[in-house]
Amino acid sequence: MKSSKLFSNRLLKDLKFQFSVFKTIADWTIWLYLIIPSIVIFIFIYRSWWYDIPSWIEGFPLFTLFFILYLLSWNGHIRTYLEEADKVFLIKRYESIWMLKKWGYSYSLINQSIRTTAIIFILLPFLLYYYSLDWHRIISLLLFFISLKVSLMLVKYYLRKIESRWKKIGVGILVFMSYSWFTHFIYTMFDNGLLLVVYISAWTLLFLSIYLSLTTIRKVSSLDYEIEMEQERKTSIIKAIFMAAPEIEKPHVSKRTKPFLFRKSKRILKKRTPANGFIEVFIKIFIRNYSYVSGYLVLINTTTAAFVLIPPIWFRIFLFLVFLLMMNSWLTLIWDKIFNTNPLMKKYTESDTYFSARKKAVMGMFILAIVLLSVFILVGITLSTKWGISYDS
């Protein structure tokens, strides 16, 4: 079988798999009451942007939009569409494997370029009528962020190879800051009308990133790594469903032999009562479990971002009420998950002490979430105001 035919078969197989996973959560009721209405509403709202620029964009500087596009550029991965059985044909038919890799990388390149183009297309009303950019500036903007995304795909390929978690975080921060400075430099050139510098930088970054990417994935030594990475990409939608569904357990495998917090498991609460015992167990398990802490912070951070970036007061009130409802429900589900899955604890789950402890623990974490949300919103609005964003509703 030719490499092109093999690639098309695997691409079609992957798309069918992703669609089957999507259908498990998007039944006809989801399509009828959520997806289709959302699409229709977005079309009408987007159409209105071409005739009347919404008031919430007023005071929103172009630099902030530039930075948001930079953050979105971190989304995307190199796909090779390799499978475990390909190692059998590596020695005799490596050229076929290499051609398959090139087809996969080309598809990744085109796919991510189309996504970036779609984002720029959605922002066109603002770029044309609010920021008054001509088509030459918009094309240079599009070209730069396509080249940036291609470069970041390669960077993430190397970052994933780092086994040490703290080393990966440290290198990731340095890379993030370096690309942030580079993006700020490009914005300065863009804002001053030096489009030739933007074009040269974008084309250079694009061709250099493509060359280095092809050179990297051609190495035979990276085959096992690319197969493992491909398996992760194929199950990305499943992982997203798991993160969005608190009733589904998300196990986190840790190489640490001792817990990072409460290693000696000392008492947190001095007063020893049955209710405090429940609360103490809940706190320790919650803090030690990465998925619980990350879910807790994701709810807070997502609400903070929406609260800061979308100014209308009515939306903020609605968003805050939704946050209160979701956080309270999520904490209650996590409590029940921790205790109901333990067969030794089931006989205590009908006692008054159990419900009293759950009420206190959930309320404590609930109040802490509100405090953190308030602090994050205050910091976000303060920083955004310094950047020149107006919050007149």
As a three-state string, the secondary structure of 174-197 is HHHHHHHHHHHHHHHHHHCCCHHH
Asked if the model's pLDDT at residue 208 lies above 90, the reply is yes
* Max mean pLDDT range (4-18, 309-323, 341-355): 4-18
pLDDT tens digit string along 276-292?
A: 777 777 788 888 777 78
Confidence at residue 95, expressed as pLDDT on a 0 to 100 scale:
81
How far is it, in rounded angstroms, from Cα 131 to Cα 113?
A: 23
Q: Residues 373, 374, 375, 380: is their CA dihedral positive or negative?
A: positive
Provide the mean pLDDT of the chain. Answer: 79
Confidence at residue 211, expressed as pLDDT on a 0 to 100 scale:
93
How far is it, in rounded angstroms, from Cα 197 to Cα 189?
A: 7
How far is it, in rounded angstroms, from Cα 213 to Cα 236?
A: 22
The residue-averaged pLDDT of 168-194 equals: 88
Asked if the model's pLDDT at residue 368 lies above 50, the reply is yes
Asked if the model's pLDDT at residue 392 lies above 50, the reply is no
Asked if the model's pLDDT at residue 193 lies above 70, the reply is yes
Q: Which of 171, 172, 166, 326 is nearest to 245 (CA)?
A: 326
Q: Tell which wins on pLDDT, 192 or 31.
A: 192
Q: Residues 351, 354, 359, 362: is their CA dihedral positive or negative?
A: negative
Confidence at residue 109, expressed as pLDDT on a 0 to 100 scale:
92
CB 153, CB 115: distance < 8 Å: no
The residue-averaged pLDDT of 131-158 equals: 90
How far is it, in rounded angstroms, from Cα 129 to Cα 60?
A: 13
Cα–Cα–Cα angle for 39, 308, 322, nearest 5°?
Answer: 60
Confidence at residue 257, expressed as pLDDT on a 0 to 100 scale:
52
End-to-end, the C-alpha distance of the chain in Å comes to 61
SS3 79: coil
pLDDT tens digit string along 374-384?
A: 888 888 777 66
Residue 90 banded pLDDT, cuts 50, 70, 90: low
Q: Which of 247, 272, 265 is nearest to 333 (CA)?
A: 247
Confidence at residue 313, expressed as pLDDT on a 0 to 100 scale:
74
Q: Tell which wins on pLDDT, 323 or 308.
A: 323
Most distant CA pair in the chain, distance: 73
CB 334, CB 292: distance < 8 Å: yes
Q: Residues 86, 18, 68, 205: is their CA dihedral positive or negative?
A: positive
Q: Count CB-CB contacts under 10 A for residue 262.
A: 16
Asked if the model's pLDDT at residue 185 lies above 80, the reply is yes
Q: Which of 100, 90, 87 is nearest to 4 (CA)?
A: 100
Residue 139 banded pLDDT, cuts 50, 70, 90: very high
Asked if the model's pLDDT at residue 388 lies above 80, the reply is no
Least confident of 2-11, 244-253, 321-330, 364-373: 244-253
Q: Count CB-CB contacts under 10 A for residue 268.
A: 13
Asked if the model's pLDDT at residue 145 lies above 90, the reply is yes
Asked if the model's pLDDT at residue 194 lies above 80, the reply is yes
How far is it, in rounded angstroms, from Cα 195 to Cα 286?
A: 51
